[in-house]
Amino acid sequence: MAIWPDEDSKSKRLYERGRKVYPGGITRLVPWLEPFPVYTKFGKGAYVTDVDGTARLDLLNNFASLIHGHCHPAIIDAVSKQLVLGTAFTNPTEVEIELAELLCDRIESAENVRFSNSGSEAVMSAIKAARAYTGRPAIVKVEGGYHGSYDYAEVSLDTPRDQFTSPPKSVGYAVGVPDRLLEDVYVIPFNDPETAANVIRAHKDRIGAILLDAAPSYLGFTHVTPEFAAKLRDLATEIGAVFILDEVITFRLDHGGAQKKFGVKPDLTVLGKIIGGGFPVGALVGSKEVMKVFDHHAGRPLVPWSGTFSANPITMVAGKATLDLLTPELIAHINALGDRARAGLTAAFASSGFPGQVTGVGSMFKIITHQRPVYDYRSQTHTAAESAAMVELQRMLVLKGFHVSGAGMAFLSTAMVAEDIDKFCAAAEESLCQLPHPASGE
Ligand SMILES: Cc1ncc(COP(=O)(O)O)c(C=O)c1O
């Protein structure tokens, strides 16, 4: 029987069809694997099975959006009941209020809510809200911080080494980003309160928003220090800017999100992924004072909010079922699985002798194929050979029955048990023993 990546596998045939209709053969970059992606047939619990019949432990969970794994019965039940009642309405529904109430109960800084269809959209709306509220055009963001696909939020996402300056300059992501846009984004290094203060004070009359992820994925999920979180809060208050926390991924870390875990005090919080229970979602939550920019009662809102499928009842019921299941005890359980994975992988690096490390927090981790200390964007960057080693490791793990990302990221689900993690660490150890060492680089 053919399996990925055999030439006669079903994945190969689907890829050939995909190439005819998609640039590059796929519709998003994340699932890319050399020489072609693994096409999925179905998921169940912690596992996904591909079109050739191979089951693998899914450590990606649609890039951190399925906190309970695939097809949790309670979520299927909630969605099935809603499907027969209708999937999308122009008029509001009770469940959109229920999910908003739930978010306000759990997140200390949330008084009001707006739903969107993706995290990217919610980030965009957060920035628009901050501009409208402050009357200022510019934002501040962390170098290497990923916040979705809004041009402003993408700035300096993958600044190449030969463009490192101090303080970091604004570097466009997609080719063709207008230079004028770059003038409205100031970039700061992560966990460096002093540089942040210098940059922010130097442009204080132009800055409407400070945007932060408390444990950015591109930075190996290194988390904010209390000093950095407090400094950004103080600076936002000092200059009259809106402090936006992107919790699209980090909300999974604590019942009250990363803001509870790390003591961050934002004005606005962006959510996404797990709050949609496996369906497309984004949300912006925050203080009534700032969120009033969306209110239409005084006439045209300062920021009109639209979105045909925003708060559609399928997403709402799936999100509510998901969060109802996600008790503090269950969060503690997957965070402990994360600790187990990090300990197991650290041991795997040690016993294999491969020069690497594992970083991360709670239920997410990142395999890093170098040994330099990781504390911000620049320190985590890989040489071409180190990146190639991670891609090869990913391929070996796929062949052994495990999905992680090509950048070494993994997001655990409540469907996993300790045995899954142990099997993964054993497979990683075996692979690391066979993986050629990349030339050491700075
Ligand atoms: C921290 C963060 N913010 C925003 C986004 C964008 O969310 P979406 O992919 O739903 O647009 C992502 C997606 O991975 C993310 O990781």
Is 349 within a domain?
Answer: yes
Domain boundaries, position 35: 10-67+327-434
Closest ligand 1 atom number to CA of residue 250:
1
Same domain, 390 and 312: no
- Closest residue by CA, ligand 1 atom 8: 119
Q: How far is CA 352 from CA 78, 204, 390, 425, in A?
A: 46, 50, 15, 12
Percent of the chain past pLDDT 70, that is, above it, reads 100
Same domain, 102 and 234: yes
Same domain, 121 and 217: yes
**160 alpha carbon to ligand 1 midpoint, in Å?**
22
Planar angle of CA 116, 121, 123, nearest 5 degrees:
110
Question: Among the three residues 256, 290, 324, which one is the final residue of a domain in this structure?
Answer: 324
Q: Identify the pLDDT of residue 20.
A: 98
Q: What is the DSSP letter of 161?
A: G
Does residue 294 contact residue 286 with C-beta atoms inside 8 Å?
A: no
In the predicted structure, residue 442 carries a pLDDT above the cut 70: no
CA distance 262 to 250: 11
Is 22 within a domain?
Answer: yes
Is 5 within a domain?
Answer: no
How many Å is the maximal CA-CA distance in the chain?
A: 66
Same domain, 23 and 107: no
In the predicted structure, residue 111 carries a pLDDT above the cut 90: yes
Peptide bond just before 35 cis, omega within 30 deg: yes
Question: Among the three residues 291, 324, 357, which one is the final residue of a domain in this structure?
Answer: 324
Same domain, 307 and 332: no
Does residue 394 contact residue 404 with C-beta atoms inside 8 Å?
A: yes
Same domain, 92 and 63: no
More confident residue, 275 or 441: 275
> How many structural domains does the chain have?
2
**What average pLDDT does the segment 380-404 reach?**
97
Q: Identify the pLDDT of residue 440.
A: 75
190-249 pLDDT, tens digit per residue, is 999 999 999 999 999 999 999 999 999 999 999 999 999 999 999 999 999 999 999 999
Q: Please, what is the end-to-end C-alpha distance for the chain in angstroms?
A: 44
Six-digit token string for 273: 């992924």
CATH of the domain at 212: 3.40.640.10
Same domain, 162 and 61: no
Same domain, 307 and 247: yes
Q: What is the 3-state secondary structure (H, E, C) of 37-95?
A: CCCEEEEEECEEEECCCCEEEECCHHHHCCCCCECCHHHHHHHHHHHCCCCCCCCCCHH
Same domain, 209 and 341: no
314-350 pLDDT, tens digit per residue, is 999 999 999 999 999 999 999 999 999 999 999 999 9
Non-local CB neighbours of 79 within 8 Å, separated by 6+ positions: 277, 279, 314, 317, 318, 321
Confidence class for position 59, pLDDT limits 50, 70, 90: very high
Is 2 within a domain?
Answer: no
In the predicted structure, residue 441 carries a pLDDT above the cut 70: no
Is 4 within a domain?
Answer: no
**What average pLDDT does the segment 278-294 reach?**
98
Same domain, 250 and 145: yes
CATH of the domain at 364: 3.90.1150.10
Percent of the chain past pLDDT 90, that is, above it, reads 99
**23 alpha carbon to ligand 1 midpoint, in Å?**
22
Is 135 within a domain?
Answer: yes
**What average pLDDT does the segment 265-271 reach?**
99
Same domain, 335 and 316: no
Question: Among the three residues 295, 324, 353, which one is the final residue of a domain in this structure?
Answer: 324
In the predicted structure, residue 45 carries a pLDDT above the cut 70: yes
Pocket around ligand 1 at a 6 A CB cut-off: 63, 118-120, 123, 146-148, 213, 217, 246, 248-249, 272, 282
Mean pLDDT of the chain: 97
Three-state DSSP class for residue 434: helix
Is 442 within a domain?
Answer: no
Q: Identify the pLDDT of residue 62.
A: 98
**What average pLDDT does the segment 362-373 reach?**
98
**What average pLDDT does the segment 282-298 reach?**
97
Site to probe by mutation for ligand 1, drawn from 249, 409, 411 as the one with most ligand atoms within 8 Å of Cβ, is 249
**246 alpha carbon to ligand 1 midpoint, in Å?**
9
Same domain, 307 and 424: no
Chain centre distance of CA 428: 23
User: What residue type is 115 in one-letter code?
Assistant: F
In the predicted structure, residue 439 carries a pLDDT above the cut 90: no
Does residue 231 contact residue 206 with C-beta atoms inside 8 Å?
A: no
